[in-house]
Structure formats: structure tokens, C-alpha cells
Structure 1
Amino acid sequence: MVIDATTMKYTSQRDIQAYLAHKAVKGCYYAVTGKGGPEHVTFCDRAEQRLSSSYVNLTEFFMGSGELPLADISEEGKPVFCKKAPDNERKRRDVYPQIESGAMECVRFWKSVFGCRIPKLDPEAIDGWLDVLMAEEHGNDPDKLSGMRWAVNTQHTKTRPLIIRRTDIPVLALYKAIERLSFSKRRN
């Protein structure tokens, strides 16, 4: 099983499926933003969203692992991580211990309140908590969450703002339009 925070094109799952051609690979995702795809389960289906959402960006940021991007797989089948990585990837790796500590503190708090009967959350409840988090972000402090960027392609060469601001919408809309045109041309 492939476990990932979000996916649109199932790239990692398809790559692993090709690498392990003799094995069936199933994906397990927090959020899926693309229609169809190989066999998978998802907590949150966002396939109908037409413009990227900060919710997807934030869950990818918080749920991703703290390592640098994957460069290769060794002969022994172990991951080989990039030695040189963009600044945004290094910054994310550097803050990861704080992210992990905050997540664990949240779990401890919930457990102190609910014991072993932790309530089930649905996507709308998590979106509500993300709304609370984003309400404090004003987009003008590069050292805060709103100044972070996340990689949107497998090579980690293209990045987008972690929290989408109104000023980002025209550029993102143009990017989406170009992506749709490119997809249509390839299909024809």
C-alpha cells in the first residue's frame, strides 16, 4: 500500500506500481484531488474542486514526512534522499520537529479529554480547524506558515504558496488553465 497525504495524478502510486510490476499496489490518501486513478481509498474526496485549496496544501505540509525529497532507490530497496534540495524543502525539514511535537501534543490533549474514545473527525471538521489556523495568517511574514511554499511536482522544482492569498488567485487560475489546455491537447 502507498500512503500519502494528497494526490492528484497518483504519480507515486503509478511509479511504485511500475517498479513492482508483479505486485498489486493500493493507495491510501488523506485527500484525492483527481478523478479516477488506480485502486485507492481516501478520507477526503476533493476531485470536484476546480482551484487548488489551501486545505490540500496544509494537509500535505503537515502530514508529509520530514525527509528531503526522494532521489533514488538503492540496490537494497532503501530510499536515497536528495543531498541538495531547494531552500523551501530544507526549511520544511528544519521545522518538522515542531510540527511533529505539536501533533503529538494534540493527541495527548485529546486523549486526556476523551481517553480511549477519541471522537471521529470528518473532512468538514478538519477544514474548520484549518480555517482557525489560517485566520491568524496574513501572508506578509515569510517566517510564518503563510510564507512557506510546497512542491507541486515530482521533481520538487515547482512550488506554490502554502496558504493561498487573494493575490495568488490570478496566477493559480492561469496555471490551471494552461494545465487543462495541455491535458486536452495530449488527449487529442
Structure 2
Amino acid sequence: KLQDHLGEIHDLDLLWANAVRLKVFRDQPALEHWQALIEQARKKRVDAYRQRMLGATSLWNLWRTELPAEPNVGALARIEGWARALDPQPRHARHVATLAMELYDGLCASGLLSPQIKNGRETLRTAALMHEIGRSKTKANCHKSSSGLIRKLRAPLGWSAEDLATAARLVRHHRGRFPPGRPALTRLSIEQLWTQGTGAQAHRP
């Protein structure tokens, strides 16, 4: 149906152009009359096309969701390659990432975490792969150093700056207690911790 609209718009444009070129109208009122009719018919088809293609539930957005994710995957791969170059123990990081994915999938399956969190799984996996890159700079307080390095990155295609900031927070607080002065965090659910920007860090007494 959309292709029909586009084809008919093209045909109307072609019809008008040829009519004007061949001077088929006997006078100015006839020209204006047919111009109005053609413009009305054209507008009807343009409006129908726009109605299908614009808005949150439009076909355009539907088609975009079906596009392959190679650009995003490629950008994440570059970040992961950068992390491997900095991490003195990349094998350990890959193991942590595997465990993190199993935990994430389990939490989603149990209903404790929503799978609808945008880029949630990718953010956690990338954070796990980068969680000790700070050891390339210092052994003391390396998690803070890792977080700082991540915050300096440019967000990959398909990510927002907040996604990258969430990865940095996950790395910064992935072990130990919650930040001092925020005891209320211990009463939040896992999903609340994530969506409020603290990351799903583990509380250890």
C-alpha cells in the first residue's frame, strides 16, 4: 500500500508536468482548476503515507528495529579490544562477563530485573570486560581508575552517554559496600538500583 501511495504521487507529478509542458489547458481558469484537483489528490496520498511512517508505532521505527545491529556490535567490539589491551588479566575479565550474563539472564527470568532496560545486557557485559582496566595505571584503588577511564570514552553507536556512565558506575562499585551516606540503597530492589543509576552492585556487610 505504501508503494502504491508513492507511485501515485509520482504519477500525479508527472501528469501535471506533462500537462503544463503540452499546454493542454484552454485558459488560466482551467489550469488553476486542474492544478487544485491534482494538488488535492497528491496531498491525500502524502498524508496517508506520512500517517503510516511517522510516530512511535510507525512502520519506519518498526523497520529500524529489524535492521542488523552490526554498527553497534562493531563499536562495542572496539571498546572490548581497547579493554583487552589495558587489562593485565583479560581471561579473568571474560570469565566475569560470562558469569554476569548468566546472572543477568537469571534475574530477568525470575522477574527481578526487566529485560526491557535499554542496552542493559550489553552495558553489564561491557562493564564486566572493563572492570579491571585501571590496573594498567595503578594497583591501588584500581576500580576508581577503571571507572575514570570508562567515563572518558565516547558512547558507541546505539548507546547514550548515560549507558556509558552506568557501565562506569557498575565498575566503580562492583564490589564492597554501597557508597557511604546512602543506607537507603540497601532497601531498593535490583531494578531500582539499576534504573536510579547506581548500578546493580552487590552489598557486602
Q: TM-score range by the shorter chain?
A: under 0.3
Structure with the largest fraction of strand: 1
Q: Under a length normalisation based on structure 2, what TM-score does the superposition of the two structures give? A: 0.22
Query: Rg: which structure is higher?
Result: 2
- What TM-score does the superposition give when structure 1 sets the normalisation length? 0.24
